[in-house]
Amino acid sequence: MKRLFSILAFIFAAGNAGAQEPGLKIGDKAPEIRLLTAANDSFALSSLRGRLVLIDFWATWCAPCIKEQPELKHLYDGLKKHVGEGKFEILGVSLDKSRENWIKTIERLQIGWPQVSDLKFWRSPVAKAYHIEELPFNVIIDGHGKIIAMNLHGKELEAFVRRHLETD
């Protein structure tokens, strides 16, 4: 009976879209992210000002995140022109702990966009600042660093990004 109640609760919770992000909402300014890249260089989200940025929160231990990377790569490759013109970028923020796993996976998946991590797993201050409760999770910010979409995936994500770049 207890199980039945939890399923019921789950169904109601699932219907409550946006439950993922109690803290941040569309229209908020995206908290700054200043972390080291895989090459150990400092990188700031604010250095991407002026671009539409997809901040992809992922980790090598997150199976659905790994599954999504080729889709992001497809999106990125299709928008090469916009990336080159400084209009679009993806920032990968990993919640990994193992630097070795992180770097190996970036190489294996041939991810070409900037990648940063504090290698603190779920203890990452970035996970706290963005109120991340589950991976994969992403945020899209406009040229002013304002959040314009959250947690879009697949076709919905691609359509949103393309629409935004075309009307810009």
| The binder of other proteins chosen from 30, 55, 62, 147 (CB under 8 A) | 62
Part in contact with other proteins (CB under 8 A); list of ranges 2-10, 45-53, 137-145, 160-168? 2-10
**93 burial type by CB count under 10 A (0-12 exposed, 13-18 middle, 19+ buried):** buried
Task: Give whichever of 59 and 111 is closer to other proteins, judged by the CB atom.
Answer: 59
Task: Give whichever of 108 and 146 is closer to other proteins, judged by the CB atom.
Answer: 108
Nearest-10 crossing angle of helices 154-167, 63-78: 30
What whole-number distance in Å separates Cα of residue 69 and Cα of residue 92?
10
- Residues in binding contact with other proteins, number by CB under 8 A: 23
Q: Where are the beta strands (DSSP E) in 30-106?
A: 34-37, 42-44, 52-58, 88-94
Task: Give whichever of 136 and 145 is closer to other proteins, judged by the CB atom.
Answer: 136
Q: Does residue 7 bind other proteins (CB under 8 A)?
A: yes
| The binder of other proteins chosen from 48, 93, 135, 157 (CB under 8 A) | 135
Binding mask 19-58 for other proteins (x = CB under 8 A): ----------------------------------------
The three-class DSSP label of residue 47 is helix
Task: Give whichever of 51 and 97 is closer to other proteins, judged by the CB atom.
Answer: 97
Phi, psi (rounded to 5 degrees) for 60: -70, -25
Q: Residues near 114 by Cβ (< 8 Å), separated by ≥ 6?
A: 37, 43, 89, 90, 91, 92
Site for other proteins in 74-133 (CB under 8 A): 96-98, 120-123, 127-128, 132-133
Contact between 57 and 132 (Cβ < 8 Å) = yes
By CB under 8 A, name the binding residues for other proteins. 3-4, 7-8, 11, 59, 61-64, 96-98, 120-123, 127-128, 132-135
